Every structure is written in C-alpha cells, then in structure tokens.
Amino acid sequence: MVRARVHRQGRRRRRDDGLPDHHQHLGRRQRRAEADDRGGQVVRRERGRADAQDHPARDHPAHHDRAAPRHRPCGHRDRDRRVLHRDRRSRRAHHHRGPALRHRRPVRPDRRPDDPRHRPDEARRLAGGQGRALVLERQRREGPVTTVLPDGRVDFSAILDERDAAVFAAAGYGERAGFGRKPVLVVIDVNHNFCGDRPEPILDSIRRWRNSCGEAAWEALPHVAALIDSARANGIPVIYSTGEDPRPDGLNSGRWADKNRRRAEDSEAHPAGVNEIMPQIAPEAGDVVIRKPKPSVFYASPLQSYLVELGADSLVLCGTTTSGCVRATVLDGFSNNYRMSVVAEATFDRGRVSHLVNLFDMDQKYADVVGVEATTAFFDGLPADLYRVPATKES
C-alpha cells in the first residue's frame, strides 16, 4: 500500500488526490522536478516501501482507497504484512487499534474441516506434537504423574503418610529384588482402547473410547517407545499384549459386561480398531503379539510357554492399566517365581490415585517399580548374545 506525504503543508494526502497516476513510479529526481512544476510540493512515499508494480497483490490501489489516518500507532508495522482477503481484515479504523495485531492466516482450501490444523485454537494446540502440548498443560496443572527420585525409587509422598510409611518399613517390605539375568519386555495393552486415537483431555476421549486414559496415555507413550527401542537394540525379546476383538453377541465379554454399562460400544462404535496397538510403538518382525481374554497376560495365553522356551527369568512390564492388567500380570508372574519390574513413567492408568496406590503396593510386595533411565541402562549392560538362538540340528 502506497501513501503520500506532503511535507510543505504538514499533512498527509491521498495518493490519487490530484496527482498523476504515474507519479508513484517516478524516481526521486523526477518527482522533485514535477514537484517544482506544481509549486514546490515535494511528494514521496514512506521509506522502505516497495513499488506497487513489484507487489501488485499487496499494494494495488484498489484495495486501499481510503484516506490514511493522521497518526500511525506506535509499534504498528505495515511493510512486511501481506494483504488478506478484505472480509478477513479488521473492520475497525486504524486509529482505534493498539499495537500491531497478528491477523489469522486465511484457511487453505485443501484442508478439510476435520483436519486438526483446521480446528479451533484449543483443539489444534492439543493435537500438535503427538500430545506434547496436552501433556505439558496437564503437568503444569497437576504436576507429573510419577516422580523418580535420584536413588531410582518412585516418590509416593502424595499418597503415603507417616503412619503407613512406618508400618511398611517395620514389616520389612519394599526390598529390591533386582532385574534378573534374562529379562523379557512385556508391553501391556497400549492400544486405541486405552489411548484413544488422538491426544485430548480424558473426559473428551472417553466419550468415544470408553476405556481411554486420556493425557496419561500420551504422557507415557514416548517412554514406552524408548523402552522398546532399547530392548530391540540389545536383543531383548519384546512381547505385546492386546485384547481379543469383541464378538457381536458379547459372548467373550464375560463378567466385564456386568461391571461396565458401556461394554456394548466396543463392538458397535469401534468394531475393527479398538484393540489395534498404537502406531507409535507398532510391533516389528520378530516381536510377539498375544491377544488375551482377561486382565493377566498369563491367563489362557501362550506367554508361559514362550518364557520357558526363551529361558527367561524376569519380566519388565510397561503399559496399562496400572491397577488392572499390569497388576494382574505382576501377580501371576510373581506367583510363577519370575522377578518382576514395573517401569513407572511407562505405565499409566485413568485414575491418578489408583495409579500411584497400585505402584506403591506392587513396589512393596510383588515387583520393583523402577524408572526408564535405570531400565535402559540395565538393558545396555546385558551381553549381546544373551538370546542368541542356537542352530537347529538336522535329523
């Protein structure tokens, strides 16, 4: 946009107010020569502005046919702005504005209304960066779900008072069992059923995915991925579990149907995707996937036979939910004399209290609750040929 300034009379005037149309394209000397012919009026553009012919979309006179205001607000910069569609421009006069306002960019026509980049600002913020903004907001509001102390233990002060701490200490609970010599990583039920299909607050997510853990799931996902990457890099077997697909008649629901009034939604709303493992941690060739009918990965599954074949003596668990399937698997593994470890940051639950209480109880009696850093360091220190499969003998 080109504006004219008349120095001699001390006022601004419109570009087309009695001046020839070609005047804006003249050089400095030519403008002075014409100004002398017009009685000494020296007309020049604002410094730093480009010619209209260089930026016709920005400076075309048709879009700027109003008189310029007498004063430009402090901090208002025009030179690098692009002209938006006139319907998207502020309708207030310039002299009513404060400092420069950032205009919203025009919506690109190739973006669908359901595209996360086309949602309102709040939803777009929550959908960005695989839920990082959502997680940071929840942490600012509530603090971290779990805090690992410098000694590698988890801080349970939020739920543990002096009386209970004294009781467990006097009874001798809470000793460390250790990782074992041949661990297997078990990733429990990290699927759409418990994570949803996009990062969003838990109450929004469970409207569509009744078992969703909301923000807690998306906070744990990067830690789960880090454990899987470390296990694969060190040749440690990775075993996933997920649920059985629901039957239309609900026969395999069992007593789940008695405890949740929304059980039928699993087959009606999400017939194909409810038990799909999250793409951020998708299984690869060589990984084992177990579809389980009940909370424990051991129940009615081939897990025990796989562990015997591998010669494993310990399990490292992550996933969900802490109070349900993780705890049930810990109890069965403990009952079968496996050393059990639960990685705190990579385990999650829909309830904050149930998550912490069950971590504490397992840490006292059935498993070592450990941090991601200590676990990956343990994986890195294992022999490279720990799970080397011997060659098959020919008969």
Per-residue pLDDT reduced to its tens digit, 252-300: 888 878 888 887 776 666 556 889 999 999 999 999 999 999 999 999 9
Q: Are residues 223 and 328 in the same domain?
A: yes
What was the pLDDT predicted at 136?
73
User: Hey, what are 155's tokens?
Assistant: 């801080």
In which domain, by residue range, is 38 found? 4-96
Distance CA 159, CA 145 (A): 12
Q: Are residues 173 and 295 in the same domain?
A: yes
Give CA torsion, residues 22, 24, 30, 33, to 10 deg: 90
Residue 40 falls inside a structural domain: yes
What was the pLDDT predicted at 379?
98
Q: Are residues 208 and 169 in the same domain?
A: yes
Going by the DSSP 8-state scheme, the letter that residue 325 receives in this structure is I
**Looking at the 3D structure of the chain, how many domains does it have?**
3
381 Cα distance to chain centroid: 31
What was the pLDDT predicted at 6?
45
Q: Are residues 63 and 179 in the same domain?
A: no
Residue 336 falls inside a structural domain: yes
What was the pLDDT predicted at 336?
98
Q: Are residues 134 and 253 in the same domain?
A: no
Instruction: Please list, residue by residue across 86-125, b when 16 or more beta carbons sit within 10 angstroms of its beta carbon and e when fewer do.
Output: eeeeeeeeeeeeeeeeeeeeeeeeeeeeeeeeeeeeeeee
What was the pLDDT predicted at 137?
76
Quote the percentage of the chain above a pLDDT of 90: 51
What was the pLDDT predicted at 146?
84
Report helix angle 352-365 to 327-335, nearest 10.
10
Q: Are residues 228 and 126 in the same domain?
A: no
Q: Which residues pair with 340 in a beta bridge?
A: 315
What residues of the chain score a pLDDT lower than 70? 1-131, 135, 138-139, 266-272, 389-395
Of 284, 276, 300, nearest in space to 189 by CA: 276
What was the pLDDT predicted at 26?
53
